[in-house]
Amino acid sequence: MADVKEEVQAETEGEVALEAPPRGSAEELLDAEAGEPLDPMRHSAAHVMAEAVLDLFPGTKLGIGPAIADGFYYDFELPRTLKPEDLEAIAARMAASIKADHPFVRRELPPEEGRAFFEERGQPYKVEILADLAARAKAEGQPMPPVSVYEHGQFVDLCKGPHVESTGKIGPFKLLAVAGAYWRGDEKRPMLQRIYGTVWPTQEDLDRFLWRREEAKKRDHRRLGVQLDLFSFHDVSPGAAFWHPKGWTLYRTLENAMRELQAGRDYQEIYTPPLVAQKLWQQSGHWDLYREHMFLFESEGQTFSLKPMNCPESTYVYRSRVRSYRDLPLRFSEYGKLHRNELSGTLSGLTRVRHFVQDDGHIYLRPDQIGSEIEAVLGEVREAYSWVGLTPRLTFGTRPDKALGDPALWDRAEALIQEALDRSGAEYRVKLKDGAFYAPKIDIQVDDALGREWQTATIQVDLVMLPERFDLWYIDEEGHQQRPVAIHRAIYGSLERFIGVITEHFAGAFPLWLAPVQAVIVPIADRHVGAADELAAVMRDRGLRVEVDGSENRMQNKIRLAQGQKVPYMVVLGDREIDARTASPRTRSGEQQPAEPWDAFADRLAAESRERRAD
């Protein structure tokens, strides 16, 4: 049951901020093992950075220094605030230590000696971690284990490892930034200075990373959201976007495309209440394991929550009548408005939010239908991602050790899923024991234009949670009650996160079908505005989203503005075009296209838009 929480968290997609301050236990604070192959080198670079800082600023108190995605950091309590020049000096000292090729040596000290060691060196944060470990060992009735330290050269750190062999094995690195970070992520504790760095096996890897980082800054969806007038964030509702007309058009366009796909696959859309009584979550198991992430309210002596997920409520619609084997698969889709009470300090743009909508679906089916249904859902995934030019990669997570339900049913379900995956021709890898405790699952990841991996959505084949806990059944051919299987599936995942990902992927230059404004018509002079409105009407008739720039700006300015807004087509209208009733479109990349009659131009764009091509 411990995994309910992990699963529901995983359901909304890599919402774990990789650079979030480590919270919680002392052990977590010491855990350098994030599991990536480069992590020992990254974490070793953090030790070398701490050595350099201690050299340059005697009396520095050391926090922690883990490996993170693409690099490392270390938190320091320093006698003064760091300046950018300090990073250069620190980097130079680090380079010297790397050149000296000091071996990393692990030692174990008896607990008391370990504590005394860090006390003598004036390292209260290390002493605090040791005290926590001792208190925990005591609470568990265990003896305090020896204190493990790693040393290289003159530097010694409290550390579980692992490390590379010697400092010489640390590749090309760069120190990136300094930021404030509360000790243990707790705003009541001291604010430390955190230095971020990155380190790679080769100079080429480092250069590529630095390029990607620069490019990512330019593409940051929070920045583009303002620039393109898509959405904004305000402190009156942390972690929830305010959608502006253009952003909401984008949102609805994505949603409607999915609705159309689902209609073709015989989904039926439902809508269940956002405000739900506590007893539902007790029945589903979320109350015990997920309560701290739910917004709770009292009304007339009852506790309610804003739903953090749609799953359990869909069972009420299923159970509203007797279902026969002939009714299955029964496919319910729902664009449920979800709320999760994430810590305000961890919220970030559209990718880590408190409020979001999932393009959710719950499919109820007979066990023998698992294979064909999974294959069909994989087809939906492939189609939807082709609209944005992303190739989904799939990870198949199998039965974990603590799984609920009949092992024979698990084996059968897993075999059917694997067959469906093989038949689909999709690229996938298997992660053993990575399924939910109630369901084998397929996670969907994409790599964007910068090669960054995003987890977007998931497909789970639920054998237990909804079917058993909510006592679902159908009548089989012989008139007996049978348990259905429930597939939970989201394809975009959260609409908010998906829009954040594709905004960065396209750097805001959305393909025609998605662009909030598909064409801007630019009348050269005031007397051309009437004809521009006429052309706009011709295009709007075909469902195109068109603006007329009737402002007093000069033509060149209008074109530049439209380009800045990344509008796919611009049409300049002057006397000549109006007389001939033609349009000479320019694309946002600057290509001048041949003149076409208005109708033909509008037809062509409408057809292109309907195709939902990503280019």
Residues engaged in binding Zn ion (CB under 5 A): 159, 311, 488
**378/522 with CB nearer Zn ion:** 378
In the complex, minimum distance from the CB of residue 520 to Zn ion, in angstroms, rounded to a whole number? 41
CB of 190 to Zn ion, least distance (A): 22
Please indicate whether residue 441 is annotated as part of the active site: yes
Nearer to Zn ion, 361 or 508 (CB): 361
Furthest C-alpha separation in the chain: 93
* Chain position carrying tokens 């980082």: 213
Helix (H) or strand (E) holding 459: strand 453-462
C-alpha distances in Å from residue 293, one per residue of 4, 71, 339, 344: 12, 29, 9, 12
Name the packing angle between helices 495-505 and 245-264 (round to 10°): 110
Q: Is 482 a catalytic residue?
A: no
Active-site annotation holder among 93, 340, 505, 612 = 340
Give the strands of the sheet with 105-109, arranged side by side. Answer: 105-109, 147-152, 155-158
Instruction: Specify the amino acid at residue 592.
Output: Q
Instruction: Pick between residue 62 and residue 532 the one whose CB is nearest to Zn ion.
Output: 62
Considering the candidates 115, 222, 362, 586, report the single residue annotated as catalytic. Answer: 362
Distance, in Å, from the CA atom of 198 to the CA atom of 69, rounded to the nearest integer, reads: 9
Q: Name which of 95, 84, 117, 105 is nearest 48 in CA terms.
A: 95
Helix (H) or strand (E) holding 613: none
Active site residue 340: yes
Give the pair of three-digit tokens for residue 296: 């709770």
CB of residue 341 to Zn ion, shortest distance in Å = 19
Q: Is 14 helix (H, G, I), strand (E, B) or coil?
A: coil
Shortest distance, CB of residue 151 to Zn ion, whole angstroms? 10
Please state the closest distance from residue 327 (CB atom) to Zn ion, in A.
Answer: 19
- Would residue 360 show up in a list of annotated catalytic residues for this protein? yes
Residue placing its CB nearer to Zn ion in the complex, 311 or 571? 311
Smallest CA-to-CA distance from 495 within 258, 232, 271 is with 258
Of these residues, 355, 441, 528, 586, which one is catalytic? 441
Which run of H or of E encompasses 182?
strand 173-182
Instruction: In angstroms, give the least distance from the CB of 46 to Zn ion.
Output: 7
Q: How far is the CB of 270 from Zn ion (least distance, A)?
A: 13
The torsion defined by the Cα of 332, 333, 335 and 338, in degrees rounded to 10, comes to: 60
Which residue's CB is nearer to Zn ion, number 157 or number 414?
157
CB 161 within 8 A of CB 148: yes
Catalytic residue among 75, 157, 360, 549: 360
Q: How far apart are CA 562 and CA 545, in angstroms?
A: 14
CB 384 within 8 A of CB 254: no
What the block records as the tokens of 434 is 């990575």
| Total Cβ atoms within 10 A of residue 135 | 12
Shortest approach of Zn ion to residue 489 CB, angstroms? 8
SS3 172: coil
Active-site hit among 399, 488, 505, 588: 488
Nearer to Zn ion, 31 or 599 (CB): 31
**Amino acid residing at 391:** T
- Six-digit token string for 474: 């159908």
203 included as an active-site residue: no
Catalytic residues: 311, 340, 358, 360, 362, 441, 488
